[in-house]
Amino acid sequence: MAKLSLRAVQKLTCKKRDAWWTVVLVDPVATRMLIVMARFRFITPNRVTWAALFVGLGSAAMFLKGDTQSLIIGAALYHLSFIFDCIDGKLARLKGNGTVFGGWLDYVFDRIRVLFCALALMGGQYLRTDDERFLLAALLVVFLDMLRYVDALQIYKMRMSMRAKIEKVTREKQEAELAAAEAAQGTAEEPAAPKIQFMEDLLRENPEAEAQTLKEQAAAGHVVDLHAQFRHRFPWYQRFRQALLRSRIRPHLISGIEFQMFIFIVGPLIGRILEVTVISAVLLGIFELVIMYKFWLSTRDFTAVMEELSVTPTQAGTIAPHLHRGRHRRGEQDPLLVDQRLIDPQPDEDPFFQPYPEPYTSQEPGGWEEGHTLRLQVPGGSLGARPSSLPQQRRYPGERESVR
């Protein structure tokens, strides 16, 4: 493989936006290691992911010892493990051999590493000090790490769902307008593909631009802004975001990466594990609340966009007419309730259904009294039965005859 320049590797493999810990303390080392590792064909992204896991487990083993020297070694190994965790993605982007399984493997191994390191770090300190607060700290770290990444995945899933619904409704509205125009003019044209642009995509491609400027420049298409309310309530956020993006730093200053680095690197190095854990947990909790609040505002923007694009007026939040009080007294019933199939089911709907025996009443003088049932004596009891003169019940193929 030809020798690669550091600048070319950084341009090809580094993300446009990343955590500040990665940008400042990981990428400068990872890109230089990548130049060397990319020369060997046997080094694949998945093998680097496995290496990151084993180094992380070595870090957990050092944390479990609990002494100062072991904590320092454990912090260094954890940082090396995280560097490998970044190299696997960079290597996949550089060689173009990334796979879906590799992405899943990377995610799962990250969670395993955090779990083992949290239990080892807090468990080692508990064994040395008998301080039960370290056990609570271990549970707190595992819970917040799980919450952060599960919440991120779920929000991403919901955002993709909102975008898909907007595109679908826009397409339906365009088709309805085209059909109306054809009916009025009698001309038939092929429907054009709906040109929908989302403001978050435009800002990602043009981080220095203003949202209003991008919206005016994209006048040829329909621009959907699912962060309009958040941007309106916090106008300073756009300037803050632009300032950070000039250095490739994303605005999420206390995310899952910083949370891990502070607990497993900063805390052990300075010898203040509990204090750093509490502070990191509080900051991550605040960050999660902000993310949830921003997502809530985004759902309100989504609702407004859907009402604007909807072809038929929405009746959300209203009670169905057939459920109004007294409606049944006026003889108006739900069609489902008067469905003949529910009132009088046919035998072929349930081949094994057999009705209860009906009482036989004789109408002849001196016959059976009204309400009496003919009984047949059988071993162990008697069964109600009809006289043989009455028509026999219909049997279906495969059904055994039963005594009535």
Cα–Cα distance measured from residue 3 to residue 345, given in angstroms and rounded to the nearest whole number: 79
- Averaged over 46-68, what is the pLDDT? 96
Q: What is the pLDDT of residue 390?
A: 47
The pLDDT-based confidence of 348 (bands split at 50, 70, 90) is low
Phi-psi region of 378 (alpha: psi -120 to 50; beta: other; left: phi over 0): beta
Strands 374-378 and 196-198: unpaired
Q: What is the pLDDT of residue 403?
A: 46
- Averaged over 189-203, what is the pLDDT? 69
Contacts made by residues 22-25, CB under 8 angstroms, sequence distance 24+: 22/86, 22/257, 23/247, 23/248, 23/249, 25/79
CA dihedral of 56, 282, 244, 260, whole degrees rounded to 10: 0
Q: What is the pLDDT of residue 162?
A: 92
Q: State the average pLDDT for the chain.
A: 80
pLDDT in tens, 275-308: 999 999 999 999 999 999 999 999 999 999 888 8
Please check the confidence at residue 254 and state whether its pLDDT lies above 50: yes
Please check the confidence at residue 378 and state whether its pLDDT lies above 60: no
Specify the length of the chain in residues: 404
Contacts of 139 (CB under 8 A, 6+ apart): none
- Averaged over 74-92, what is the pLDDT? 95
The lowest-confidence range among 150-164, 192-206, 276-290, 354-368 is: 354-368
Smallest Cα–Cα separation from 125: which of 264, 262, 260, 259? 264
> Which is higher by pLDDT, 181 or 167?
167
pLDDT in tens, 365-376: 554 444 444 454
Q: What is the pLDDT of residue 108?
A: 93
> Which is higher by pLDDT, 216 or 368?
216
Please check the confidence at residue 177 and state whether its pLDDT lies above 60: yes
Q: What is the pLDDT of residue 81?
A: 97
Percent of the residues in the chain that have a pLDDT greater than 90, as a whole number? 45
Task: Please compute, for residue 224, the number of CA atoms within 13 A of its CA located in the half-sphere on the CB side.
Answer: 27
Q: What is the pLDDT of residue 404?
A: 43
Contacts of 217 (CB under 8 A, 6+ apart): none
User: Does an H or E element contain 381, and which?
Assistant: strand 381-385
